[in-house]
Structure 1
Amino acid sequence: MQNFVFQNETKIIFGRDEEQVVGQEAKKYGKKLLLHYGGGSIKKNGLYQRVVESLQAQGIEIFELSGVKPNPRVSLVREGVTLCKENNIGFILAVGGGSVIDSAKAIAAGVNYEGDVWDFFDGKNSVNDCLPLGVILTIPAAGSESSGGSVITNEDGSYKRAVGHETMRPRFAILNPVLSYTLPSYQTACGITDMMSHILERYFTREKNVELTDRLCEATLKTIINNAHTVLDDPTNYDARAEIMWAGTIAHNDSLNTGRIGDWGSHDIEHEISGIYDIAHGAGLAIIFPAWMKYVYKHDVNRFVQFANRVWDVEIDLNDLEKTALQGIQKTEQFFRLIGMPVKLNEVDIGEEHFEEMARKGTERGPIGNFIKLAEKDVFEIYQLAK
């Protein structure tokens, strides 16, 4: 087990109707607030009105910036940075899913910086000081509500890049499972895939003697798997929605990667796909993760055997461990398909024309991943396996 420091200061406020306390929480950080959200869904379901009333009751002046899209764009982030600077705004409230939260984090990072916010994402500078922000989560998926990371897309060149810093963690996150009742089934399935992928990135480590976090990863994966069909078949099942929502937070709040080194190659590989083709991140991960598994499993067959046995209940064949490992990969792919996810690039009309470009861009800063290091040619081969 590796040495580690674990500190997560995000206050989680979980349960029915808890969005009504947002004004009380936000007032701790000043009297001017940027309300950041996506489209009109929060107005249609009444959440916007409840949030505004709670904020106004505490005397908070509200500035708004809507229009966040999936795979959030740096152009809107720049608008938010300017808006905050010009109006001396001291707090950001993100109401939405991972895209809104990541966009809010990027704005928070850019406000106290004199250069262009994209500098952080292309490695020209490092984040060290962010505006405080809070979250009302509406889409369980990305885990951004208590993580220290943000992923943003630059329309110029179709680059999708990530950056992280402890000051980017939200000060509070309000999680009401009821707010996820109206999500389309496809979006729910994308979220399930996203949170499972966050766990898998951590689970596939070369670090030995990490039994506790292995077991925590496995338990969280099985909880998601056990509740996935319930939320898809019965969208207003509160108990199942609550399990999924909390699992999504646990998957990415860093508790599952204490003492271990995760991989993260699959995320980097997928970012190139959604950066160019603008597909849902979860859908891209459902395609890439099984392909990555097929490409790397022989480097540590025992870990893949453990995964197959403990997560998917595959009986271990002591005479053919490779067979057991492959069954676990097959079960993963089958599960993604059963919940309505694509598992091949051709299922989302993506051909080979950008494989070389994506492999080159994905590794332009050097090899990616930690389970094994992936060079440009390796990434290209994984795209081939996924086509």
Structure 2
Amino acid sequence: MNNFTFYSPTYFVFGKEQEEKTGSYIKRFGGSKVLIHYGGGSVIRSGLLDRVKASLTEEGIDFLELGGVKPNPRSGLVYEGIKICKENKVDFILAVGGGSAIDSAKAIAAGALYDGDFWDFYEGKPVDKALKVGTVLTIAAAGSEGSGDTVITKEEGMLKRGAGGEALRPVFSILNPELTKTLPAYQTACGATDIMAHVFERYFTNTKEVEVTDRLCEAVLLTMIKEVPKVIADPNDYEARANIMWAGMVAHNNLVGVGREQDWSSHNIEHELSALYDCAHGAGLAVVFPAWMTYVMKHDINRFAQVAVRVWGCHMDFTHPEETAMEGIHCLKQFLTSIGMPVTFKELGAKEEDIPALAEKIGLEKDETMGSFVKLTTKDVENILYLAL
């Protein structure tokens, strides 16, 4: 196990009707002038936004609103939010929605205290300070409610890039599983795929003897395998929704990643798919991850065989462990298909002729690589995308 530091200070408020206490938590964490940041019509139609605003009013907290966040959140709205914050002396941002609203809120929080272009943070500049962010979560997926990470798409060139830092971790997150009951099955499945991908990015590691976090990773994956089909069949299954929502947070606040080298190649590859085709992030990951696994499997056959046995219940073939490893990848693809996810370029609506450009857009220089489990060149990325055909 590698040396590590782990600090996860977000205050989690979990359960039914907890969004009605939003104002008290903003006050607890020092907010007095709030920008409420959200997406489309669902938070309005459901009455959630009104309940949240009523809670702030009850606590005497001033607020402004900025809606319109889209999936794969865009830089244009971030610039607008930064302008609002600077002109109105906003000191707290409340994201109401899923990962897109939260990621956009974090970008605004960083940009509001910065004199330059917020996009500098998405090109590698550290985020040293930001406005405080709180969240009311409506989708179990990105894990942004418990992490310091954020991903934004720059409309100029449609570049999708990530940034992060401890300053961007939400100070509190309200998680009410009931708020996810109205999600379409496809959106639920996309979120579940993202959760599983966050675990896989950490599970496939070159670090030896990380049994504790291996087992934590496997527990989250087994939970998803058990609970996701339940909510696809019955969207009102509260207990299954609750387990999935908490799994989404655990998968990405880095509890399952401490002490181990992490990869993140598949996410970087997928970002180019969702930037070009505007597909759901989870759907893109469902296509990329099995292809990546197939391409890099021989680097550590035993690790792939281990997840096949421990998570998918495959029989271990000690003579031919590669057969066990391949069976595990096949089981993953079967599971993704069963919950309505695409697993090929054709199903996603992606085009073979775009593959060279997709690989090139990642931006690797001639001798540069990405990832850590297996270091990938631009040509490797192309080969993985061709496997996804």
- Whether TM-score is above 0.5 comes out as yes
Deviating above 3 A after TM superposition, structure 1's stretches of 4 or more consecutive aligned residues are none
- Residue 373 of structure 1, aligned match among 350, 366, 375: 375
Query: Does residue 33 of structure 1 match 2:34?
Result: yes
- How far does residue 62 in structure 1 lie from its aligned partner after superposition? 1.1
Counterpart code for 2:241: R
Q: Which moved more, 1:212-221 or 1:342-351?
A: 342-351
Tell me the residue number matched to 1:383: 385
Q: 1:314-325 alignment to 2 at 5 Å?
A: 314-325=314-325
> Matched residue pairs, number?
386
Identity value in percent = 55
Aligned positions of 1:279-294 closer than 5 A: 279-294=279-294
Indicate if the aligned counterparts of 2:317 and 2:324 stay in contact, CA closer than 8 A: yes
Secondary structure of the corresponding residue to residue 63 of structure 1: strand
* Rounded Cα–Cα distance in structure 2 between residues aligned with 1:260 and 1:238: 34
CA distance in 2, matches of 1:26, 1:379: 44
Distance, in Å, in 2 between the alignment partners of 1:260 and 1:76 is 36
Shift of 1:350: 1.1
Measure how far apart 1:356 and its partner are: 1.2
Letter in 2 for 1:314: C
CA distance in 2, matches of 1:9, 1:328: 36
> Is the partner of 2:96 in helix, strand or coil?
strand
Structure 2 letter corresponding to 1:188: T
Shift of 1:353: 2.4
Q: Separation in 2 of the partners of 1:363 and 1:206?
A: 25
Letter of the 2:257 counterpart: N
Please tell me whether the aligned partners of residues 363 and 375 of structure 1 are also in contact (alpha carbons under 8 angstroms): no
C-alpha distance in 2 between matches for 1:248 and 1:126: 25
Letter in 2 for 1:379: V
In the other structure, the counterpart of 1:278 is: 278
Give how far 1:364 is off.
Answer: 2.4
The amino acid across from 1:67 in the alignment is: G
AA at the equivalent of 2:376: L
Calculate the TM-score normalised by the size of structure 2: 0.98
2:7 maps to amino acid: Q
Whole-angstrom CA distance in 2 between matches of 1:351 and 1:59: 53
| Contact 1:70 1:99 (8 Å CA) reproduced | yes
In structure 2, what is the Cα distance between the partners aligned to 1:15 and 1:246?
10
Please list, as runs of the form range in 1=range in 2, the aligned pairs for 1:1-387 lying within 5 A after superposition: 1-28=1-28, 29-123=30-124, 125-364=125-364, 366-387=368-389
Q: Note the residue ranges of structure 1 that are not aligned, 5 or more in a row.
A: none
Cα offset, 1:30, TM superposition: 2.7
Secondary structure at 1:173's aligned position in 2? strand
Between the aligned partners of 1:160 and 1:376, the Cα distance in structure 2 is 17
Separation in structure 2 between the aligned mates of residue 184 and residue 308 of structure 1, nearest angstrom: 30
> 1: CA distance between counterparts of 2:102 and 2:233?
28
Is the 2:34–2:62 contact (alpha carbons within 8 Å) kept by the matching residues of 1?
yes
Once the two structures are superposed, residues 50-99 of structure 1 have per-residue CA deviations (whole angstroms, 9 ceiling, x without a partner) of 10100000111110000000000011001000000000000000000000
SS at match of 2:6: coil
Q: Deviations over 1:253-300 (max 9, x none)?
A: 110001001110000000011111110000000000000000000000
Cα distance between partner residues in 2 of 1:30 and 1:327: 52
Task: Give the Cα–Cα distance (whole angstroms) in 2 for the partners of residues 178 and 350 of structure 1.
Answer: 34
Taking the aligned partners of 1:240 and 1:217, their CA distance within structure 2 comes to: 18
- Counterparts of 1:361 and 1:56, CA distance in 2: 46
Q: Is the 8 A contact 2:287 2:348 kept in 1?
A: no
What stretches of structure 2 of length at least 5 have no aligned partner? none
Task: Kindly report the root-mean-square deviation, in angstroms, between the aligned alpha carbons of the 2 structures.
Answer: 0.8
SS, match of residue 64 in structure 1: strand
Deviation at 1:118? 0.8
Alpha-carbon distance between aligned partners in 1 of 2:193 and 2:2, rounded to the nearest angstrom: 28
The answer as to whether partners of 2:284 and 2:348 remain within 8 angstroms in 1 is: no
Distance 1:313 1:262 in 2: 24
Distance 1:164 1:174 in 2: 21
**Matched residue of 2:374: which SS?**
coil
SS, match of residue 160 in structure 2: strand
CA distance in 1 between partners of 2:349 and 2:222 (Å): 31
The 3-state SS of whatever aligns with 2:134 is: strand
Normalised TM-score (structure 1) = 0.99
Q: Partners of 1:11 and 1:41 in 2: how far apart?
A: 25
User: Counterparts of 2:364 and 2:104 in 1: how far apart (Å)?
Assistant: 24
Q: Conserved in 1, the CA contact under 8 Å of 2:314 and 2:327? A: yes
> Mean Cα displacement is larger for which, 35-44 or 23-32?
23-32
| Residues 33, 89 of structure 1: 8 Å contact kept | yes
